[in-house]
């Protein structure tokens, strides 16, 4: 399903765990260090470095662009490292996060509470992911290097709905459905 970031707020409640999405539009990168800074800003009543309402955060730390490229490797990082910060951001209007790996029960509850979604990108394929990024601009915390907040323009970025707005979690479902095949006693 092809959707834009601007459509996500309206479409998120109808997306289901396992749906494949091709995302178009602008997303913001943020990893651990940027999340800590954004949390401090919010605690002090200061504005975040980008409009959070309806925004999407991609847990990635893109590398420098090689000559002639827009961006270097741009694969997802482990989402669980941002779990302490994510419920507050979702409550502030964040509509989706993108990363890899399972989310905590607190994040899943916040996704449900806010009719948001958690989307997974393919891990270990940062060079491939970069092909779907058509623009890259640093917007905050430049001193953090690859962990600075960047605004990326996505075009047809391939994702899967890992947690839908009803709290269905592909990681739990996958273990329940397929886990017994791989578990040895």
The whole-angstrom separation of Cα 106 and Cα 96 is 15
pLDDT given at position 175: 73
CATH code linked to domain 2-180: 3.20.130.10
pLDDT of 181 strictly over 60:
no
Tokens representing residue 152 in the block = 């990326």
pLDDT of 46 strictly over 60:
yes
Q: What are phi and psi of 83, to 5 degrees?
A: -60, -35
- CA distances to 105, 133, 134, 153 from 26, rounded to whole Å, are 28, 10, 10, 5
> At which residue do the structure tokens 């996505």 appear?
154
The residue among 36, 54, 67 whose CA lies nearest residue 140 is 36
pLDDT given at position 184: 43
- Largest Cα separation within the chain, whole Å, is 53
Express each pLDDT in 97-148 by its tens digit.
999 999 999 999 999 999 999 999 988 788 889 999 999 999 999 999 989 9
pLDDT given at position 82: 97
- CA distances to 35, 60, 96 from 125, rounded to whole Å, are 23, 12, 21
Domain residue extents for the chain? 2-180
pLDDT of 183 strictly over 60:
no
DSSP, residue by residue, 128-146: HHHTTEEEEEEEE-GGGGG
pTM here is: 0.92
Express each pLDDT in 58-90 by its tens digit.
999 999 899 989 999 999 999 999 999 999 999
Tokens representing residue 110 in the block = 């916040």
Express each pLDDT in 159-180 by its tens digit.
999 999 999 999 988 777 765 5
Residues in the chain: 185
pLDDT given at position 2: 97
The residue among 63, 58, 9, 10 whose CA lies nearest residue 34 is 58
Q: What are phi and psi of 10, to 5 degrees?
A: -75, -40
Tokens representing residue 151 in the block = 């605004």
Express each pLDDT in 17-41 by its tens digit.
999 999 999 999 999 999 999 999 9
């Amino acid at each position: 399903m092809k959707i834009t970031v601007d459509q996500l707020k309206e479409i998120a409640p109808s997306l289901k765990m396992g749906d494949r999405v091709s995302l178009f539009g602008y997303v913001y990168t943020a990893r651990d260090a940027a999340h800590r800074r954004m949390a401090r800003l919010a605690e002090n009543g200061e504005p975040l470095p980008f409009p959070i309402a309806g925004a999407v955060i991609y847990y990635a730390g893109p590398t420098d662009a090689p000559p002639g490229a827009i961006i270097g490797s741009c694969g997802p990082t482990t989402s669980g490292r941002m779990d302490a910060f994510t419920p507050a951001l979702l409550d502030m209007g964040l509509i989706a996060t993108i990363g890899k790996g399972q989310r905590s029960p607190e994040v899943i509850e916040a996704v449900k509470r806010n009719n948001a979604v958690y989307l997974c990108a393919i891990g270990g394929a940062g060079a491939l992911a970069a092909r779907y990024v058509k623009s890259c601009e640093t917007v905050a915390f430049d001193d953090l290097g690859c962990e600075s907040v960047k605004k990326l323009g996505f075009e047809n970025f391939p994702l899967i709905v890992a947690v839908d707005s009803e709290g269905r979690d592909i990681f739990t479902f996958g273990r329940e459905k397929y886990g017994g095949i791989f578990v040895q006693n």
